[in-house]
Structure 1
Amino acid sequence: MEFKELKDFEAFTGLSHRCYPGMNLTSAEEQERYTEHRRKMAGHKDVHPVGLYDGGSLVGGYFAYDHKIQVYDTKVKGAGIGTVAVDLPYKKQGHAKRIITKFLLDARKNGRILAHLYPFQPGFYQKMGFGIGPELSVYQFHPSQLPTFETTLDVQVLTRDHLDDVRRCYHTWVDQTHGATDIPSYGFAFLEKPEQHTIGVQNEGKLEGYMSFEFKAGSHFLENDLHVRNFFYTTKAAYQALLTQLHNQKDQVRSVSFPTFDEDFSFTLDNPVHVENRLIHSIYHKTAEQGRGLMYRIIDIPAFLESVKHHTFGRDTIRIGWTVKDSLLGETYKEVWQFAAGRPSVTKEEAEVQIELDIGSFSSLMMGCVSLPALEKAGKANVSKPVDLFNQLEKPQCWTFF
């Protein structure tokens, strides 16, 4: 068995078809479309297709992505992995573990600090040291449940001719948002998709927000649901202007499907109840559906610490001795960090508190996905005594899919 650059995309399509039936690669047309898509993606300098070969036969593969991720106030080098596949006759032989190990070691060698992925099964990747990411909520409501706001921003339909404006707006949002990931030009392909519509709001000629959406037909041609696909804003005025645009669809749209990481979005709606109007426990009304997707794994802990040394994780001034175990790579990180009013740095002084946990829980903690008391209560962290750190979380937001 050996790893090498993947160039046989027809073989990878066949492998993907067998590993992921949900892709529906059943027709020759769909298989050709998928093959060309993979070949086109491999042509980008930040995308790296890798195959696992047994002699001349492709038995597994994956795509690795070079990313830049906003971690609190600093942009760091990140690595993404997607379309991890092992062919049916080779499953349960440890090849997936070999793939993830290679991906992580290559990423570290290339100066990547943080890895992330979208799991086909979260528990599988938890065993490989990936920590659970933020919770996403999908609300579904009638447009009239949204408030309207007085706005002076200009509203316009956006097309591929506005690519530069959309890209600038998105990357301004990235610079303001913990967890956000830079994306290259191909990440804005929605501007060219006929089924998606994009609306932007401008202030004195500068795009301050945009959303893309598509319609899903109901039981007849006058019945439609609006599904939001992208929703980005850099100012409060832009956010309110975009919500007003959704409200204005109340005469033509049955419901709006709205994904968000905002835990307080219910307070925006005049009535937070989901269109299903269902009770979920006693007299509690369903407001949204929740799920976990993106998972994180810190690849280089010392480099990660250097990146977050100016971030405040709480109020305590205290020395913490970390023991972080990584069973996949067979590593244990032991170091004492001095927190000065919540800001961390390495110290040679003796620790006042000892914290022991695995690399996945450590990654979720450092990225702001979970509090330290929650990990301790769940039995995921051993803490020798309470500290006033990692309680007030700044949770990450990432809308980059790969």
Structure 2
Amino acid sequence: MEFKELKDFEAFTGLSHRCYPGMKLTSAEEQERYTEHRRKMAGHKDVHPVGLYDGGSLVGGYFAYDHKIQVYDTKVKGAGIGTVAVDLPYKKQGHAKRIITKFLLDARKNGRILAHLYPFQPGFYQKMGFGIGPELSVYQFHPSQLPTFETTLDVQVLTRDHLDDVRTCYHTWVDQTHGATDIPSYGFAFLEKPEQHTVGVQNEGKLEGYMSFEFKAGSHFLENDLHVRNFFYTTKAAYQALLTQLHNQKDQVRSVSFPTFDEDFSFTLDDPVHVENRLIHSIYHKTAEQGRGLMYRIIDIPAFLESVKHHTFGRDTIRIGWTVKDSLLGETYKEVWQFAAGRPSVTKEEAEVQIELDIGSFSSLMMGCVSLPALEKAGKANVSKPVDLFNQLEKPQCWTFF
């Protein structure tokens, strides 16, 4: 078995068809479309297709992505992995473990600090040392449940002619948002998709927010639901103007499907109840559906520490001795960090508190996805005594799918 650069995209399409039947690559047209899409993606310098071969036969493969991820106030080099596939006759032979190990070691060798992925099965990747990411909520409500705001911002339909403005707006949002990922020009392909509609709000000629959405038909041609696909803003005024635009669709759409990482979004709605109008657990009203997707894994802990040395993880001034175990790579990180009013740095002095946990839990903790008391209560971390750190979380937001 050996890894090589993947160039046979027809073979990878067949592999994907067998491993991911939900892709519905059942027709020759769909398979050709998928093959060309993969070939086109492989032509980008930040995309790396890799195949696992047994002789001349492709038995597995994946796509690796070079990313730049905003981690609190610092942009770091990250790595994404997607479309991990092992052909059916070769399953349960350790090939997925080989793929993830190669991906992680290659990423570290190339100076990547943080890895992230969307799991086909979260429990599987937890065993590979990836930590659970933030919770996403999808609200579904009638447009009239949104408030209206007085706004003077100009609203316009956006097309591919506005690519530069949209890209600038998005990357301004990235620079303000922990967990956000830079995307290249091909990440704005929604501007060219006929099924998606994009509108933006401008302030003195500068795009400060935009959203894209598509309509899903109901039981007849006058019944439609609006599904938000992108929703980005750089100012409060732009956020409120975009919500007002959604409210104004109340005479045209039955409901709005709105995904968000905002745990307080219920307070935005005049009525937070989901359109299903269903009670859960006695007399609690359903407001949204929740799920976990993106998972994180710190690849290089010393480099990660250097990137967050100016971030405040709490109020304590204390020395913590970390023991971080990585069973996949067979590594254990042991170091003492001095927290000065919550800001960390390495010290040679003796630890006042000892914390032991695995690399997945450590990654979730450092990225703000979970508090230290929650990990301790769940039995995922051993803490020798309480510390006033990792309690007030700044949770990551990432809308980059790969």
Common fold, TM-score beyond 0.5? Answer: yes
Do structure 1's residue 15 and structure 2's residue 15 form an aligned pair?
Answer: yes
Q: CA deviation at 1:245?
A: 0.1
Q: CA deviation at 1:17?
A: 0.1
Q: CA deviation at 1:63?
A: 0.1
For the residues of structure 1 that align with 2:47 and 2:224, how far apart are their CA atoms? Answer: 37
For the residues of structure 2 that align with 1:99 and 1:2, how far apart are their CA atoms? Answer: 10
Do structure 1's residue 345 and structure 2's residue 345 form an aligned pair?
Answer: yes
For the residues of structure 1 that align with 2:73 and 2:250, how far apart are their CA atoms? Answer: 39
Task: Provide, for residues 158-210 of structure 1, a one-character-per-residue CA deviation record: whole Å limited to 9, x for no partner.
Answer: 00000000000000000000000000000000000000000000000000000
For the residues of structure 2 that align with 1:48 and 1:136, how far apart are their CA atoms? Answer: 28
Task: Provide, for residues 332-387 of structure 1, a one-character-per-residue CA deviation record: whole Å limited to 9, x for no partner.
Answer: 00000000000000000000000000000000000000000000000000000000
Q: CA deviation at 1:25?
A: 0.1
Q: SS at the partner of 2:187?
A: helix
Q: CA deviation at 1:53?
A: 0.1
For the residues of structure 2 that align with 1:38 and 1:362, how far apart are their CA atoms? Answer: 34
Q: CA deviation at 1:314?
A: 0.0
Task: Provide, for residues 118-166 of structure 1, a one-character-per-residue CA deviation record: whole Å limited to 9, x for no partner.
Answer: 0000000000000000000000000000000000000000000000000
Task: Provide, for residues 210-238 of structure 1, a one-character-per-residue CA deviation record: whole Å limited to 9, x for no partner.
Answer: 00000000000000000000000000000
Task: Provide, for residues 237-261 of structure 1, a one-character-per-residue CA deviation record: whole Å limited to 9, x for no partner.
Answer: 0000000000000001000000000
Q: SS at the partner of 1:60?
A: strand
Q: CA deviation at 1:284?
A: 0.1
Task: Provide, for residues 87-119 of structure 1, a one-character-per-residue CA deviation record: whole Å limited to 9, x for no partner.
Answer: 000000000000000000000000000000000
Q: Output the TM-score relative to the length of structure 1.
A: 1.00
For the residues of structure 1 that align with 2:63 and 2:166, how far apart are their CA atoms? Answer: 26
For the residues of structure 2 that align with 1:96 and 1:338, how far apart are their CA atoms? Answer: 38
Q: CA deviation at 1:282?
A: 0.7
What runs of 5+ residues in structure 1 fail to find an aligned partner? none
For the residues of structure 1 that align with 2:58 and 2:280, how far apart are their CA atoms? Answer: 47
Q: SS at the partner of 1:250?
A: helix
What is the match of residue 299 of structure 1?
A: 299
For the residues of structure 2 that align with 1:182 and 1:32, how far apart are their CA atoms? Answer: 29
For the residues of structure 2 that align with 1:334 and 1:364, how far apart are their CA atoms? Answer: 18
For the residues of structure 2 that align with 1:53 and 1:241, how far apart are their CA atoms? Answer: 53
For the residues of structure 1 that align with 2:61 and 2:251, how far apart are their CA atoms? Answer: 48
For the residues of structure 2 that align with 1:20 and 1:138, how far apart are their CA atoms? Answer: 25
For the residues of structure 1 that align with 2:138 and 2:167, how far apart are their CA atoms? Answer: 25
Q: CA deviation at 1:313?
A: 0.0
Q: In the comparison of the two structures, how many residue pairs are matched?
A: 402
Q: CA deviation at 1:315?
A: 0.0
For the residues of structure 2 that align with 1:379 and 1:13, how far apart are their CA atoms? Answer: 42
Q: CA deviation at 1:9?
A: 0.0
For the residues of structure 2 that align with 1:287 and 1:22, how far apart are their CA atoms? Answer: 28
What is the match of residue 371 of structure 2?
A: 371
For the residues of structure 1 that align with 2:87 and 2:110, how far apart are their CA atoms? Answer: 28
For the residues of structure 2 that align with 1:264 and 1:184, how far apart are their CA atoms? Answer: 31
Q: CA deviation at 1:275?
A: 0.1
Q: SS at the partner of 2:250?
A: coil
For the residues of structure 2 that align with 1:180 and 1:229, how far apart are their CA atoms? Answer: 16
Q: SS at the partner of 1:152?
A: coil
Q: SS at the partner of 1:14?
A: helix
For the residues of structure 2 that align with 1:20 and 1:298, how far apart are their CA atoms? Answer: 28
Q: SS at the partner of 2:251?
A: coil
Q: SS at the partner of 1:163?
A: helix
Q: CA deviation at 1:71?
A: 0.1
For the residues of structure 2 that align with 1:225 and 1:109, how far apart are their CA atoms? Answer: 47
Q: SS at the partner of 1:200?
A: strand
What is the match of residue 170 of structure 1?
A: 170
Q: SS at the partner of 2:335?
A: strand
**Structure 1 outlier segments of 4+, above 6 Å:** none
What is the match of residue 331 of structure 1?
A: 331
For the residues of structure 2 that align with 1:222 and 1:281, how far apart are their CA atoms? Answer: 35
Q: SS at the partner of 1:151?
A: coil
Q: CA deviation at 1:289?
A: 0.0
Q: SS at the partner of 1:248?
A: helix
For the residues of structure 2 that align with 1:323 and 1:367, how far apart are their CA atoms? Answer: 17
Task: Provide, for residues 56-92 of structure 1, a one-character-per-residue CA deviation record: whole Å limited to 9, x for no partner.
Answer: 0000000000000000000000000000000000000
For the residues of structure 1 that align with 2:80 and 2:203, how far apart are their CA atoms? Answer: 35
For the residues of structure 1 that align with 2:27 and 2:261, how far apart are their CA atoms? Answer: 37
What is the match of residue 202 of structure 1?
A: 202
Q: SS at the partner of 1:339?
A: strand
Q: CA deviation at 1:264?
A: 0.1
For the residues of structure 2 that align with 1:251 and 1:22, how far apart are their CA atoms? Answer: 35
For the residues of structure 2 that align with 1:133 and 1:283, how far apart are their CA atoms? Answer: 29
For the residues of structure 2 that align with 1:193 and 1:169, how far apart are their CA atoms? Answer: 19
What is the match of residue 253 of structure 1?
A: 253
Q: SS at the partner of 1:249?
A: helix
Q: CA deviation at 1:40?
A: 0.1
Q: SS at the partner of 2:258?
A: strand
For the residues of structure 2 that align with 1:271 and 1:339, how far apart are their CA atoms? Answer: 43
Q: CA deviation at 1:22?
A: 0.1
Task: Show the 5 A alignment for 1:1-400.
Answer: 1-400=1-400
Q: Output the TM-score relative to the length of structure 2.
A: 1.00
